[in-house]
Every structure is written in C-alpha cells, then in structure tokens.
Amino acid sequence: MKPSVYIGIDLGGTSIKMGLVDQLGNILYTLESPTPVKAGYHQVLAVFSQMAEKLFQNNKYEWKDIIGVGAGVPAFLDQQKGIVIEAVNLSWNHVPLKEDLERMWKVPIMVDNDANAAALGEMWNGAGKGASHLICLTLGTGIGGGVIINGDIYHGANGSAGEVGHMTVRHQGGRSCNCGRKGCLETEASATAIVLDALEQVKGVSSGPLKEEYDKTGTITAKSVVQLAQQGDFLSIEIITKVGRILGSTLAQMCYLLNPEVIVIGGGVALAGKVLFDPLIQAFNNAILPRVAENTSIIPAKLGNRAGLTGAAWLIHRKNIGSREAKGS
C-alpha cells in the first residue's frame, strides 16, 4: 500500500508551484505554471485545479491518497479562517481561499503567507531541520520573514509577526520606501536595493562588468551583481558587502529579542554565498553579546524555491500529526 501524501502550493506573483510531498517533507513530484494574475482569483483557482489533475499523471497517486493541501500565499491573511485579507500583487481582497479550495477538492486545506511557508519548509526539511526556535529571512524583491517558536510558526497579535521588511535599519540617509518611511530593511538590503546601489555605482565608473551590462541593457539585475561578486568584481563585492553588513547588524537586534537557535537566510540574494555571509556574520558578531549568540547559527537556506511548497505541505502535516497524537496512535 502506498503511504498517504500532502499537496503543497506556493502561489507567487509570477508562478504557481505545486507538488506532492511525503510525510517526511520530501517533494515527490512538482509542477510549475504561470500565475494568471490579470485573469483574477477564480482563474487562479481553475489553474490550481488543472495543475492538481496533471500532478497525478504519470505516477501512482490519486486524490484518495491526499491527506490535505497547504498553500503559501503572498498576502496578509487571517490564517485561522483561511481568508486572504489583502494580496497586493494579486489584487485579491478578502477572498475565502480555504473555504473555496475545500469545496473544490473535498480535502482539508490550510493556508499561510509565503514567508511563513518558506520558514516552515526550511524547519521541516531544510537548513533549520531539528530547530525549535528559528527566524527565516527571504531576500528577494522585498524581504519576507517568518518566526518559528516551539516548532510552529508564530503569527502574533494579528498575523504580522515576522514582517521585518520595514524595520528601520538606516536612520540617516536611507532610501525612501513605498511604505512612506525611509531606510527600511527592504530598501537597504533586498534585491531591489542591490539594483539601486548598482545603478548609483555605475554612474561613477567608466568601465567594468557592471558598467558594461548597464550600457548594453540599460539596467542591471540583482542576479548579475550577485554573480559578478562571486566572480571577484570589486564593485559588485562592495555592493553585496554593504547588504551583508546591514543584514548582520539587523539580525543581531532580532537575536537580542528572540534568541533563536537558527537564522536561515534564503532568496535569490542569499545565493551570493560567502561574499554575503562573511560580512554579514562579522557585522552580527560585532553587534551581539557573545553569550546571547552562543547557541545561534546563521546559515543559508537549503531548499531554494522549494521551501514555500514544502512548508505549505507542513501546514497539513502539523494538522495530521496533531490529530493522530490526539487519537493516541
């Protein structure tokens, strides 16, 4: 008899990832499809439905093997009721996602925001495996955060716990943020910040690989700054070093409050590796009391873009484990 499995969904502004996940957090099969953002909420549900049917093709699984479906959504939501209160990038407002998916699929559904799902994925089967207290930052266009306490995601008073992107990290001379403030973590240390830093820097130089990219394409991507930094380009290293320093001292502030076992850093920017992590850890150590950090590790994420999908499946895994424990089996 084949063991029952979960479906995990990672809904992004660009693509939808869906996968079958086993009870140890391993992804068995996975699919990806563009998000029909403009077509709206119901079209996204229709794509979910088509993807799920496709997911069962060419393997032995069918709906009766599915314990439930978890979804990570780029949104502010009421996680308990499963209502997406606001998903800016999707233009969703107050949609009953959990209820609609339960009606469509007739299996238990759990939803949470994408940053929390990524944190849970890394805890379950990634860089934070085995940790009970964990902070996970995802460095992308913005900066998402998830806080895990006692082995479960911590939501706080209204689900905003871990929304660290707007922490003030630069009190003087910080960039304007679309939140209306200045010097937010997101404006100083995200992929967007790297692009802005790079565009400022190339103004002052007459040659070099960043300048060449700019002259050729009219812009610079964060991905190329990361890659050039790894290849030793001095200007790119400088940009990534600055981001690393800001992250390191900000993580120290978080560590005083939360004293986590593990801080996991994921997202595209984290792929910079040593070029990012060396200055990050140095800045962290400069800002933290050694005793407070003696049981805290800062490590790169392991699951890459599979973290969200894995963590979404964990939302159902927790429910499943919980109900089995309650039955005493």
Residues that bind its own copies (CB under 8 A): 76, 133, 135, 145, 147, 149-150, 154-164, 166-168, 171-172, 179, 181, 249, 252-254, 256-261, 286-287, 289, 291-292, 294-296
- 28 Cβ contact partners less than 8 Å away, ≥ 6 residues apart: 5, 19, 20, 21, 22, 59, 61
Distance CA 111, CA 79 (A): 6
Residue 149 CB, nearest approach to its own copies (Å) = 6
How far is C-alpha 51 from the geometric centre of its chain's CA atoms? 22
Cβ proximity to its own copies, 111 vs 164, nearer residue = 164
- CA separation for the pair 230, 217 (Å, rounded): 21
**Minimum distance from residue 97 beta carbon to its own copies (Å):** 19
Cβ-based nearer residue to its own copies, 23 or 259: 259
Q: Give the type of residue at 108.
A: P
Closest approach of its own copies to the CB of residue 289, in Å:
5
CB of 169 to its own copies, least distance (A): 9
Smallest gap from Cβ 131 to its own copies, in A, equals: 9
Q: How far is the CB of 307 from its own copies (least distance, A)?
A: 20
* Cβ nearer to its own copies, comparing 52 with 185: 185
Rounded CA-CA distance 120/147 in Å is 9
Residue 159: how many other CB atoms lie within 10 Å: 18
User: By C-beta, is 69 or 184 nearer to its own copies?
Assistant: 184
Q: What is the number of alpha carbons within 13 Å of residue 20 lying toward its C-beta?
A: 21
Those residues whose C-beta lies under 8 Å from the C-beta of residue 110, and which sit 6 or more positions away, are 68, 69, 70, 71, 82, 98, 312, 315, 316, 318, 319
Choice between 74 and 108, CB closer to its own copies: 74
Angle (nearest 5°) at CA 144 between 253 and 42? 160
**Are 292 and 257 in contact, with CB atoms under 8 Å apart?**
no
Q: Toward its own copies, which CB reaches closer, 10 or 112?
A: 112
Q: Which positions ≥6 away from 218 have C-beta within 8 Å?
A: none
- The count of other CB atoms within 10 Å of the CB of residue 107 is 16
Write down how long the chain is.
Answer: 329
Shortest gap between Cβ of 114 and its own copies (angstroms)? 17
Q: Which residue, 45 or 258, has its beta carbon nearer to its own copies?
A: 258
The first and second tokens of residue 244, run together, are 């690393």
The distance of closest approach from Cβ of residue 181 to its own copies in the complex, given in angstroms and rounded to an integer, is: 7
Nearer of residues 262 and 315 to its own copies, judged by Cβ? 262
